[in-house]
C-alpha cells in the first residue's frame, strides 16, 4: 500500500545537492570580481603604455562587483524645439 511514497532520504539528498549548486554560484559571484581585481593589479605592474578604452565613452575599463551600480553617464543636452502655429 505504501509503494508510491517518496523516501525522506531521497528528498534530503536532492535538497543538499541543490544547496551545493547554489553555494557554488554564490562563491563564483563573490570571488570573480576579486580575482579580476588581482589580475588587473598584476597587469598594471606588467603593463606597457597602451590602454584599453571604451569605444563610446573613451574611459578606461574598470572592474566592478555585480552588486555595484554602473556609473552615471552624462546625457547630452537636447536642443529646444520651437513649434510654430500655422
What's the CA gap between 68 and 49, in Å, rounded?
29
Distance CA 42, CA 69 (A): 25
H-helix or E-strand spanning residue 45: helix 8-45
Q: Decide if pLDDT at 64 tops 80.
A: no
pTM higher than 0.75, yes or no?
A: no
**pLDDT above 90 as % of the chain:** 26
Average pLDDT of span 45-74: 69
Q: Tens digit of pLDDT for each residue in 21-48? A: 999 999 999 999 899 899 888 887 876 6
For residue 1, is pLDDT > 60? Answer: no
Q: How far apart are CA 68 and CA 62, in angstroms?
A: 12
Amino acid at each position: 500500500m505504501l509503494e508510491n511514497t517518496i523516501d525522506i532520504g531521497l528528498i534530503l539528498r536532492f535538497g543538499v545537492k541543490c544547496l551545493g549548486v547554489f553555494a557554488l554560484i554564490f562563491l563564483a559571484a563573490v570571488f570573480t570580481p576579486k580575482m579580476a581585481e588581482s589580475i588587473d593589479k598584476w597587469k598594471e605592474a606588467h603593463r606597457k603604455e597602451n590602454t584599453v578604452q571604451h569605444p563610446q565613452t573613451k574611459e578606461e575599463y574598470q572592474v566592478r562587483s555585480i552588486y555595484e551600480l554602473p556609473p552615471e553617464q552624462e546625457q547630452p543636452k537636447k536642443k529646444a524645439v520651437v513649434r510654430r502655429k500655422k
